[in-house]
Structure 1
Amino acid sequence: MAMAKENTTLATDKTKMRSRPLAATLILTVGVVLLGVSVMIAISFGAADITFNDVWRAVFSFDASSHEQQVIRELRLPRVLGALLVGASFAVAGAIMQGMTRNPLADSGLLGLNAGAVLAMAVCFAFFPNTSYGMLIVFSFLGAAVSVALVFGIGSMAKGGLTPLRLVLAGAAVSALFGALSEGIALYFRIGQDLAFWYAGGVSGTRWSHLAILVPVVVLAIGGAITISRSITLLSLGEDIATGLGQKTKHIKLFGTLIVLVLAGSAVSVIGPVGFVGLIIPHLTRYIVGVDYRFIIPCSAVLGALLLIWADLIARTINPPYETPIGALIALIGVPFFLYLARKERRTL
């Protein structure tokens, strides 16, 4: 009993010392405003020359007879909202993974979840070509689940158990395997063109029918992540501390893993295997708001959404009328950031 009290005090003190609620409140308040402004800016730019007045009318007083408003309502708006949801999904998934595993290199792309989801979609396109978008999300979820099982299984087999470095190496191996299998299926069944969109990364194909499925799935998953955020904070401080405070760590890890699978699988079904969002955003958020995941998760969702909206805007305006893959743009930031973290992690081993 005394030990539990001591652990409680220690964990509370650590969290209070390194959490910044005012910074989190500022991010959420300003971030939501910036999201609204960013959405309006993003739907104002594109191949068609459309004025801001047309954008305003398309959103708030839609006229079906106007071609400009049709472009905004049917093409640009669902695309931008898709980028918002995908960015939030990848960022929250990365935050949960880093908190649960205490691994600063954890990310759905680095640990093979994205590759598993793409392999599942390749199988879906090859054998079930008329699959609905809802079933595509289910296939992505199952592919990500298989990938997680393999990564954690392979990483745990080595002597000394699962370490952050082994987790990343296992993720790289599984990603390479699943990537090769996806390409093999694409070549054999001649579905390379169908998969090219997901390999490149982009939200141009997002439609309202997709959002009708994606919105409730992502909102519920992020809500679940916020619900267990306090438990994730305790896990990030150490499993012994969490257990000493009465946390059912296995249940929390299972629930957290399911949330990550849903978020990563849903995001990949929309944009493809875009990596590094779940690596960069949680680190940036943790640097600003501290170690309390009650702040990290919602702030990561906002910052991740902002990153993807602006990445998509840059991708379609940097070289018009062609689109630059979003994955390539984010990798320009993500790769140096990953190398910096890997070097830093190596020094602590």
Structure 2
Amino acid sequence: MQITVNSQKDNKVSVSATVEAKTVDSYIAKTYKDFARRYNFPGFRKGKAPRPVVDNALGREAVMATATENLINDTYPQIIEEEKLYPAGQPDFGKSDEMIVQGSDFTFDFTLPVRPEIELTSYDALEIELPQSGASEAEIEEQMKQLLAHYQQEEATEQWAKETMGFESLDDMKKQVAQSIEDQKEAMLPRLKENACVLKLIERVDADVPEGMAEQKESQLLQDFFTQLQRSGASFDSYLMQQGIDSDQFKEDVKRQAEDEVKRDMALDAWARHAGIEATDEDVSHEFEVAAGEGAKDLEKEWRDSGRLYLIREELVRSKAMENIMDGAKVVEVDFAKRAQEAEAAKKESEKSDESANAEAQTTDEESTE
């Protein structure tokens, strides 16, 4: 098969594929056999009706139209895989009525929207902030405040720590709280690091999100959301009430999330391309082995034949890119609890200053009136 791919504007490619006559003839032969098995032809056993009989009963044009459709449907996934194309929508085959002909090559064309290839504003290592290791005094204090509020206590006492909370002493309780904070950080750190990297990464995307990709991602998010909602047995109205939002706000949130996720994907694709990161055939096969074990080869063939193998390759490349980004990120450890306390103290001081200024102004106004 000869394939020609040309880039067009608006993130599309035009594809022209020529299938050899030998393959064309095999599709015609298979279609005749399928029709002979599918329908009853008087005087002939199932599957034994000759071509002229099939043509007279069903019409030669119907046979050729079916053979043409089957050939294109089977060939399209091959093109996607061979040319390493990454569809961002459905192919447009136009309105051609041309059909395959016995003994002749067959050429068909289509236009395909593909994922855009953008460049980031920078490929330097990301600088991110993460919670400092261990448990700080501010973090322990914040956790203790939450516990006091939950148990409606004004202050942490030895009696409360022992009798209500079941610790040996107040110091023992603080040590256990500190250990709990450290354990939570250790469990959450990989996800926190990835999220921090993603937020910084999409800041480097100076490109519009293609409308088609955003709509496709939004549809996927909605489908996943309502599937989970159905499994949980909750209603959409109860979810909105719990979140304190209305349906319009929900739609806006999903739309914003979809755009951010598309930006993330575009950014990871750009990073991978810049760093020369690829997914090999061995990488792809390994994914199926992990997922399906003994049935890996059959499952991989199914995905390849249906033109979906690029989805696995795409996610592998993005996963490798994310790992590369995280490994090279420059991390600054921050005591976020202390930062929040300082911000709250500054806010209160500012409010206090404003109150003093207002009071002074009011006094001046009263004196002026007198």
TM range (shorter): under 0.3
Greater share of strand = 2
Pair member with larger Rg: 2
Structure 1 or 2: more helix by fraction = 1
